[in-house]
Chains A and B, each alone.
Chain A
Amino acid sequence: MIAAGIDAGSRSIKAVLFDADTAQMLAATVTDQGVEQARLADEVFAQALRQAALPPARVGAVVATGYGRNNVRFADTTITEITCHARGVHQLVPEARTILEIGGQDSKAIFLEDGGNVRDFAMNDRCAAGTGRFLEVVAALLGVDLPTLGELSRHSHAPAAISSTCVVFAETEIIGLLAEGVLPADVAAGVQNAIALRVAALAGRHVAPPVCFTGGVALQAGMLRALEAALEQPVRVAPQPQFTGALGAAILAARRQASA
């Protein structure tokens, strides 16, 4: 049975087609989030079908997740991104016991039991300081794109100490640092450290290994190093980190269908 998962995140929408019989991902597509959320979800799903060369009728069940989960018109049901990321990561990295997911405007720590069920979780409140939004703001300030920001951080020898716990105030702080002559590379590395420290604080004191890092921000060069330093333990990046939410949604869709 083929099932689909749609992860309508704050910055991008992801679709995954999953074959439950072979446990294979058949397609994974992504598009930027926008005003017309429902239409964008339709499109990213259509792209996934084209990528897998499948007609829509072959998809037996659809689960939507993410911030825009209620705007996915063709979904059979919705499941939160916490449950979906847990399921998706468990599929790809079964030994993981802690998941750190950093997305466009969210960050989450998810703690798993043996078997991959969620034991506990924590999620950022009203603040974007520990999320991908922080990287976007800094990239814009430095006049570079996100991949370049990640590359820049690799050249840092003295990461700037960025104390602000608020993205809006951090912007002012960073403008001040640049005015003082702090190198863009050190600002880039400093921001990554600031995000990593926020997420480590969110995860709390009992981070059970192995730790798996997922979400779009895991694609950013330098973030893994920053997170390992903040947690003082090794971290591994999930395969295809942008898609673990959509993959989990697809797996849960297949299960729902099988037990229906």
Chain B
Amino acid sequence: MSSITSPTTSSAQVGVSAALAWFADMMDHCYDFAEAAKTQGRPVVGILCEFTPREIILAAGAVPVCLCGGSAATIPAAEKTLPANLCPLIKSTFGYHVTGKNPFLKWADLVVAETTCDGKTKMFELMAATQPMHVLELPSKADDADAFAHWCGEVRKLKEHLEHRFGVTITDDKLRDAIRLMNRERGLRRDLANLMTQDLPPLTGRQLIEFKSIISGIEADLQQYETALKSFHDGDAAPGSPKANAGADPPIRALLTGVPLVHGAERVLELIEGSGAVVVAMENCTGLKPILEDVDANDPDPLRAIARKYYHLPCSVLTVNRRRLETLRELAAKFRPHCLIELVWQACLTYDIESCHVRRLAEEELRLPYLKITTDYSPADSARIRARVEALVEMVRARKAR
């Protein structure tokens, strides 16, 4: 975080460009928002995974902030404690914790974590030594009959913990308000993502991933999503997008799956799109995965409705994670990719091993060329990744030419 700046949207920019400019300053807006919230006495709650139900945090009157680390710079500090052979997302997040360089983490009155992968789970133990933390236990065998009841219990315990810690009562009405707010946010981001179904998408995958905020439910952000959508529907296109470059070779459409591209860790997306492809869909936690399903706002039991939506997240920590393959089938039909690219952070064992299923799905069922990229946050292998993506693009173009 460099400095606190007020929103600086140039008056010359309109529509899509103005919205992109707004989200280019996303971190500053979030900083201002969280600082103001703290001043007003609203608690800040850090989250580290898409399994955390933001609705409950919002219903408690708190501000949910994503704390996942996307910077290579904090990793050396983390490696004084954590093993080097651990995923960069975990190391970067922990590095922010030990260096105190993430103001949102310093502001956090509570961090909500989950027992997802082993690396995160054990890192949370270390973080909890100096950071108030509540851990949700995620049932791994998602198909078991008693698993959902267990998860509902965990979600209920989170609600009770927040009530107790912040001295509030989370009513069903407050939950429903939060559900509507989050559904609105998810719906707007989904509408933006669906623009990529067009033959010539009006934005790149790299531009699409800019349309997000580490703090959910900020009204100004939601209005920017709406403004951008209106401009896109009026025919506007982001600069450098396939639609803006119509006349050039139509891009090779890639479906990206695997690990999240946390803010600051978008390098691989840039390499892919710098090599002649456009990423039309991202089946990951910073892309479509958490926004495909809404929470039923009319459910008589809103807490259970919230639990159900999050329970459906197709994360590789689950066994067996069939829903991820179903999601990929649906996304492939809808976004019509020419190839499937899987990103795995080094030492992310669950995604790394699960990639065997994804490769088989791509090659044997979807009949799409598949490329797996295993890397971390350092740019040392950028030239190699570029060569592999370029070769994939050459391969797809050769197939199309026949």
Contacts and interface: CB of A to CB of B under 8 A. Distances in A.
Interface of A: 67, 79-83, 106, 117-121, 123, 125-126
Nearest to B386: A80
B387 A121 contact: no
Given A67-B383, A125-B381, A126-B375, A118 B390 contact: no
Contacts of B99: none
A67 B387 contact: yes
B197 to A, nearest CB: 27
Nearest to A124: B384
Interface of B: 363, 369-370, 374-375, 380-381, 383-384, 387-388, 390-391, 394-395, 398-399, 402
Contacts of B398: 83, 117-118
B394 A83 contact: yes
A80 B391 contact: yes
Nearest to A80: B391
Contacts of B391: 80-83, 118, 121
A121 B398 CA distance: 14
Give 10 closest A-B pairs by Cβ, nearest first. Answer: A82-B391, A80-B391, A83-B394, A80-B390, A118-B395, A126-B381, A80-B387, A117-B398, A123-B388, A125-B374
Interface centre among B363, B380, B395, B398 (most CB of A within 10 A): B395
B394 A79 contact: yes
A198 to B, nearest CB: 15
A80 B388 CA distance: 8
Contacts of A79: 394
Given A79-B394, A80-B390, A80-B391, A120 B369 contact: yes
A8 B369 CA distance: 27
Nearest to A120: B369
Contacts of A117: 395, 398-399, 402
Interface centre among A67, A106, A125 (most CB of B within 10 A): A125
A95 to B, nearest CB: 20
Contacts of B395: 82-83, 117-119, 121
29 contacts: A67-B383, A67-B387, A79-B394, A80-B390, A80-B391, A82-B388, A82-B391, A82-B395, A83-B391, A83-B394, A83-B395, A83-B398, A117-B395, A117-B398, A117-B402, A118-B391, A118-B394, A118-B395, A118-B398, A119-B395, A120-B369, A121-B388, A121-B395, A123-B387, A125-B375, A125-B384, A126-B380, A126-B381, A126-B384
Contacts of A80: 387, 390-391, 394
A126 B394 CA distance: 22
Contacts of B387: 67, 80-82, 123
A37 to B, nearest CB: 13
A209 to B, nearest CB: 20
A37 B132 CA distance: 55
Contacts of A119: 395
A260 to B, nearest CB: 14
Given A80-B390, A120-B370, 11 more contacts: A67-B383, A81-B387, A82-B387, A83-B391, A83-B394, A117-B395, A118-B398, A120-B369, A121-B391, A123-B388, A126-B375
Contacts of B388: 82, 121, 123
A81 to B, nearest CB: 7
Contacts of A123: 384, 387-388
Interface centre among B370, B387, B398, B402 (most CB of A within 10 A): B387
A123 B392 CA distance: 12
A119 B395 CA distance: 7
Nearest to A66: B387
Contacts of A82: 387-388, 391, 394-395
Nearest to A252: B394
A217 B83 CA distance: 35
Contacts of A125: 374-375, 381, 384
Contacts of B381: 125-126
A189 B32 CA distance: 63
B83 to A, nearest CB: 16
A231 to B, nearest CB: 21
Contacts of A106: 384
B72 to A, nearest CB: 14
Nearest to A117: B398
Nearest to B396: A118
Contacts of B363: 120
Contacts of B384: 106, 123, 125-126
A119 B381 CA distance: 24
A46 to B, nearest CB: 26
A121 B381 CA distance: 17
A114 to B, nearest CB: 12
A167 to B, nearest CB: 15
B400 to A, nearest CB: 12
Contacts of B380: 126
A119 B363 CA distance: 11
